[in-house]
Amino acid sequence: MANSPDPDFSEQFVNLLRIRDLPLALLLKSILDSEGIECYLSDENLVRMDWLWSNLLEGVKLWVRLKDVDDAALMVDQNIPESFAVEGIGEYIQPRCPTCNSFNVSFEALNRPIAYSSLFFGLAVPLKRQGWKCLSCGRAWMDPPEPVDQTH
């Protein structure tokens, strides 16, 4: 980081994580910023300009001060809450996969075969499919998942 304000940047900061996806890197940085932990991202602009470079660059790097490594690691390793209160609406229950019980689900995810095939022709066609998909086990379904009974 040649443009860092401190000449001893390499001695004061360590690479906490390498993150493939820019949105996740920005989210983790905002979590650390909100807790007052000074941090920086590197290679985020290259990944932002062309996300295919992320694997080549080994992702976006999240840097924190050496003295904050333990606190920062605890902050970024938090589990996803099963539910949380939304002001004016009530309790929101996180969707789970009905097969593997994972929180790692998405709605209207990118149709990867079509999107990647379009890149071959120099076009970026971000075609999305309707419905839910588990990013852990691959199961797809149309209806919102029912809350899973955790008592058994």
**How confident is the prediction for the chain on average, in pLDDT?**
78
Q: What is the pLDDT of residue 70?
A: 94
Verify that 115 and 68 share a domain, yes or no. no
- Contact residues for 39 (Cβ-Cβ < 8 A; gap 6+): 16, 29, 32, 33, 62, 63, 64, 68, 72
Helix H or strand E segment including 44: helix 44-49
Does residue 63 sit within a domain?
yes
Residue range(s) defining the domain that contains residue 104:
95-141
- Contact residues for 139 (Cβ-Cβ < 8 A; gap 6+): 97, 98, 99, 100, 133
Question: Quick one: what percent of the chain has pLDDT higher than 70?
Answer: 69
Task: Give the C-alpha separation, 59 to 68, whole Å.
Answer: 22
Which pLDDT tens digit goes with each residue over 26-69? 999 999 999 999 999 998 888 778 777 666 777 889 999 999 99
Q: What is the pLDDT of residue 5?
A: 53
Does residue 131 sit within a domain?
yes
Query: Partners of 140 in the beta sheet?
Result: 133
Does residue 148 sit within a domain?
no
Per-residue pLDDT averaged across 16-25, rounded? 87
Listed ranges 15-24, 68-77, 113-122; the one with the highest mean pLDDT? 68-77
Task: Give the predicted TM-score (pTM) of the model.
Answer: 0.54
